[in-house]
Chains A and B, each alone.
Chain A
Amino acid sequence: MNKRKMFFRMITASLLRRRSRMIVALLSIAIGATILSGLVTIYYDVPRQMGAQFRNYGANMIFTPTDGSFTSADISQGKNCIDQKDIIGVTPYRYESLRMREQPVMAAGTDMAEAKLTSPYWSVEGEYPSAEGQILLGATLSEQFRLGTGDKVEIGFTPSADDNDETVVDSTKEFTVSGILETGGPEEDYVYMILSDLEELTGVSGKIDLAELSISAKSDKLKTYADKINSSVPTIRASLVKRVTESETTVLTKLQALVLLVTVVVLALTMICVATTMTAVVAERRREIGLRKAIGASNSSIIKEFMGEGMLLGAVGGIIGSVLGYIFAQQVSINVFSSSISFMPLLVPITILVSVAVTGISCLLPIRSAASIEPALVLKGE
């Protein structure tokens, strides 16, 4: 009991008395631990965060009807097969040929809020339609019909004769152009409107031709989702947008490999740095070791004491480092991805363990060489 008390007293006293040097040592351990916990957190979080960035490329899964069309109930049934937190957006589309100024145009009825999520690359001059009676006009059409934002235009629908045996009644509605859509792709040739408007115009509701899904998952996970949906929802054929999924996997794998390698290189170098500093701090105390040996301390008790001191420093440095590392990773995440990072509780004990191990190993070598030296020689200063 008494012995253990003395042991702690010697360690704490030595740490307190040699304050400036201990601060140097502690600082170096804390830096190492900060880099360890910070980089590892980032490494684990990068795929998730970067994956979200890759969703900028738009939908990576589409639902097409197996027979004619499907309903929004089918979509939500399909949605239930996917882990809810992976879903970024699900946008239904219904395509109809309408008339604008007596010329045929292709119109798509959709959910604008979801379209914004699944197609973040759409560049809209003006506003997305927020209420019924507003349309988003493709840039090509806007130029062709000379319509700008705020202009009003009448759009009509003529039901085809075989759909409706009775008298064919045209339905028309006046719309306000709320925005012009630019994508550099085929979307510029379409008129986008809110689904209920299209249903009102055509008089047919609950029919959807296509749904775009943006899901944050890797391609093999997406494949299992697609298989599950295909087997459980008979009206839907789910397929992957190969261009997006294949390329995402390629690029994301490389990015993760980059962060991993950088982490490994930085960690290895920092740990060696910590070790050399610890070695320098301990090597300085050869005289003290000699003195203790001269008054009768055994090699093992010296090693034990010095190691205890080093490991205590390692533990304290590790704790400081875990906190600083988390703060660093959080800052990076907020600055780069503007979202917060998930805290990994397991990383705290790992960081502390690694710091204790690194300091322990780097103390052991100089202490052993010091302890094996004749006390008289050391004290004499040779």
Chain B
Amino acid sequence: MFFRMIFGTLIRQWKKMLMIAFTIALGASLATAMLSVMLDVGDKVNQELKTYGANITVVPKENSVLNSLYEVEDGGSTGAYLREDELGKIKTIFWAFNIVDYAPFVNTKAKLDDGTEITAVGTWFNHHMELPTGEQLDAGITSLRSWWEVTDGKWIDEQSIENRNVAMVGSALAEKLGVRMCDEIHLTGSVSDLTVKVAGIIDAGGDEDNKIFMPLDTAQTLSGLDGKVDSVEVSALTTPDNELAVKAAKDPKSLTIAQYELWYCTAYASSICYQIQEVMTDAVASPVRQVADSEGAILEKTQLLMVLITILSLIGAALGICNLVTASVMERSAEMGLMKAIGAQNSSVSGLVLTEIIITAVFGGIAGFFAGYGFAQIIGHTVFGSAINMRPAVIPIVAVLVLIVTLAGCIPAIRMLLRLSPCEVLHGK
């Protein structure tokens, strides 16, 4: 009988029930969309901030102490290098997944035919790597220096075979030399000499405009530094530093075992640096404060902003649902009066109304969840051009929210109506 009455109401009053379900669906979709966007916004913005370039630099141990002085004195070679064959290991550390991009650099001086000395930089452009884990990665300055503009020609493609002995020239240098795309430049390095073809002109808006860039092995041949690398720039997704990270960055040994594990297993810039030092011989990795700090600040602000907007919309959704449920329960005063008049107990009347509303809420909530998922994807694709990852935590939060809000909307209204005497209600007062 109970179920018959419920289904009776659901079917007879389908219009009203549909409206309740619709409102609940709207609220639930709002909650779902905002929660999923909020939980994923950190990762998404972090990806966007990668346009600022590397946030970690790796240099050889001795070099990090002596670099400044002797670079001023004798032009760059300090005798300390990183090993090129170890570069792949960077992608095997604990937080390998967070390493987005990296590129090695080797700086060397080369002379032009007219005797002027220029800085030649060997690096990766879009170096293709097959990792031991089976993953593939294209790393290099094409993506790491996204703000560089190639004004003439195009980026060097390391995969194509005809790109041997090619180079990209900084715009200021190119202007000085009067070279254009496809011109040839003859360079004399400290060990050998070779002729490179200009593949493109780079406008970097900085020091780099006076340098010439070429694939790593070309520069190594020029300077006789086979298998050696000056520095590596790493772009990694990191978590903003907190007290623990600051303490650990000073000295990891000062941590307790539990703190150490927490620090090691969190993607702080300092723990990623530490892990890079573990896999590379005699290397010092340090966060680039300009990038790492700013990333932290912006990430934190964006997340906090989204959390507050989410809270506002959750409150909005909750009050919206609550309101409508209250309004539609109050509307049924006559029906409840009638039931009481023919002898129904308070508990059974409220049980009946509650069950009806909850059944409606479940349907509305499920529909709303999927709609909200859709909204989140629309936001993800329009803004960031990639899908929003749905966190499993969203489902229980939305479910509990819808349930609590529906009950909170029903119960005061039902109690109020039950307090009225049936004959007054039926009389229409």
Chain A CB within 10 A, most for which of B16, B305, B317, B382: B305
Beta-carbon contacts under 8 Å, B294-312 to A:
294, 297-298, 301-302, 304-306, 308-309, 312
Instruction: Indicate with 1 or 0, residue by residue over A172-189, a CB within 8 angstroms of chain B CB atoms.
Output: 000000000011110011
CB of A24 within 8 A of CB of B326, answer yes
What is the size, in residues, of chain B's interface with A at 8 Å between Cβ atoms? 76
Known contacts A140-B65, A247-B146, A251-B45: A122-B289 contact under CB 8 Å: yes
CB of B33 within 8 A of CB of A265, answer yes
Give the shortest distance, in Å, between B100 (CB) and chain A (any CB): 14
B319 interface contact, C-beta 8 A: yes
B313 interface contact, C-beta 8 A: yes
CB of B288 within 8 A of CB of A269, answer no
A92 interface contact, C-beta 8 A: no
A56 contact from B19, B72, B294, B384, Cβ within 8 A: B294
Beta-carbon contacts under 8 Å, B133-149 to A:
146-149
Give the shortest distance, in Å, between B233 (CB) and chain A (any CB): 11
Give the shortest distance, in Å, between B427 (CB) and chain A (any CB): 13
Which residue of the partner chain A has the closest CB to B31?
A: A269
Chain A CB within 10 A, most for which of B203, B378, B383: B383
Which B residues touch A265, using CB under 8 A? 30, 33, 375, 379
B240 interface contact, C-beta 8 A: no
Give the shortest distance, in Å, between B166 (CB) and chain A (any CB): 24
Give the shortest distance, in Å, between A283 (CB) and chain B (any CB): 8
B291 interface contact, C-beta 8 A: yes
Of the listed stretches A158-166, A238-246, A307-315, A344-352, name the one at the interface; the rest are far from the partner chain. Answer: A238-246
A235 CA / B321 CA spacing, docked (Å)? 66
B52 interface contact, C-beta 8 A: yes
Which B residues touch A189, using CB under 8 A? 67-68
B29 interface contact, C-beta 8 A: yes
Which residue of the partner chain A has the closest CB to B57?
A: A184
CB of B382 within 8 A of CB of A241, answer no
Give the shortest distance, in Å, between A295 (CB) and chain B (any CB): 16
CB of B68 within 8 A of CB of A56, answer no
A367 CA / B282 CA spacing, docked (Å)? 80
Which B residues touch A272, using CB under 8 A? 23, 26
A266 contact from B72, B301, B313, B324, Cβ within 8 A: B313
Which B residues touch A42, using CB under 8 A? 305, 309
CB of A121 within 8 A of CB of B290, answer yes
B298 contact from A27, A50, A184, Cβ within 8 A: A50
B23 contact from A24, A255, A277, Cβ within 8 A: A277
CB of A121 within 8 A of CB of B23, answer no
A255 CA / B306 CA spacing, docked (Å)? 11
Number of contact residues on A: which range applies? 35 or more
B320 contact from A239, A250, A251, A274, Cβ within 8 A: A274
Of the listed stretches B91-99, B186-194, B327-335, B348-356, name the one at the interface; the rest are far from the partner chain. Answer: B327-335
A109 interface contact, C-beta 8 A: no
CB of A240 within 8 A of CB of B379, answer no
CB of A269 within 8 A of CB of B26, answer yes
Of the listed stretches A66-74, A76-84, A328-336, name the one at the interface; the rest are far from the partner chain. Answer: A328-336
Give the shortest distance, in Å, between A305 (CB) and chain B (any CB): 20
A337 interface contact, C-beta 8 A: yes
CB of B309 within 8 A of CB of A266, answer yes
B29 contact from A20, A39, A258, A269, Cβ within 8 A: A269
A196 interface contact, C-beta 8 A: no
A20 CA / B415 CA spacing, docked (Å)? 14
Instruction: Indicate with 1 or 0, residue by residue over A226-268, a CB within 8 angstroms of chain B CB atoms.
Output: 0000000000000111111011001100110111011001100
B213 interface contact, C-beta 8 A: no
Which A residues touch B147, using CB under 8 A? 242-243, 246-247
CB of A336 within 8 A of CB of B304, answer yes
Chain B CB within 10 A, most for which of A103, A122, A261: A261
A12 interface contact, C-beta 8 A: no
A261 contact from B45, B319, B383, Cβ within 8 A: B383
Instruction: Indicate with 1 or 0, residue by residue over B221-243, a CB within 8 angstroms of chain A CB atoms.
Output: 00000000000000000000000
B48 interface contact, C-beta 8 A: yes
A335 contact from B67, B148, B304, B383, Cβ within 8 A: B304
A218 CA / B187 CA spacing, docked (Å)? 41
A98 CA / B37 CA spacing, docked (Å)? 54
Known contacts A183-B290, A189-B67: A262-B301 contact under CB 8 Å: no
Which B residues touch A121, using CB under 8 A? 289-290, 293-294
Known contacts A38-B312, A184-B288, A269-B317: A242-B204 contact under CB 8 Å: yes
Which B residues touch A336, using CB under 8 A? 301, 304-305, 308
A182 CA / B249 CA spacing, docked (Å)? 12
A251 CA / B302 CA spacing, docked (Å)? 11
A335 CA / B213 CA spacing, docked (Å)? 46
Which B residues touch A106, using CB under 8 A? 68, 72
Give the shortest distance, in Å, between A52 (CB) and chain B (any CB): 10
A31 CA / B313 CA spacing, docked (Å)? 10
Known contacts A140-B67, A273-B317: A243-B289 contact under CB 8 Å: no
A205 interface contact, C-beta 8 A: no
Which B residues touch A340, using CB under 8 A? none
A54 contact from B66, B68, B298, Cβ within 8 A: B298
Which B residues touch A279, using CB under 8 A? 19
A57 interface contact, C-beta 8 A: yes
Known contacts A46-B305, A251-B45: A31-B294 contact under CB 8 Å: no
A188 CA / B287 CA spacing, docked (Å)? 13
CB of A185 within 8 A of CB of B204, answer no
A382 CA / B410 CA spacing, docked (Å)? 25
Beta-carbon contacts under 8 Å, A1-50 to B:
20-21, 24-25, 27-28, 31-32, 34-35, 38-39, 42, 46, 49-50
Question: Can you give 14 contacting A-B residue pairs, CB < 8 Å?
Answer: A21-B330, A35-B316, A53-B297, A140-B67, A241-B205, A255-B45, A258-B383, A266-B34, A269-B30, A272-B26, A281-B327, A284-B327, A287-B428, A332-B308
Given A247-B51, A251-B45, list of 10 further CB < 8 A pairs? A104-B69, A104-B72, A144-B69, A243-B206, A254-B45, A259-B305, A266-B30, A273-B317, A281-B327, A336-B308
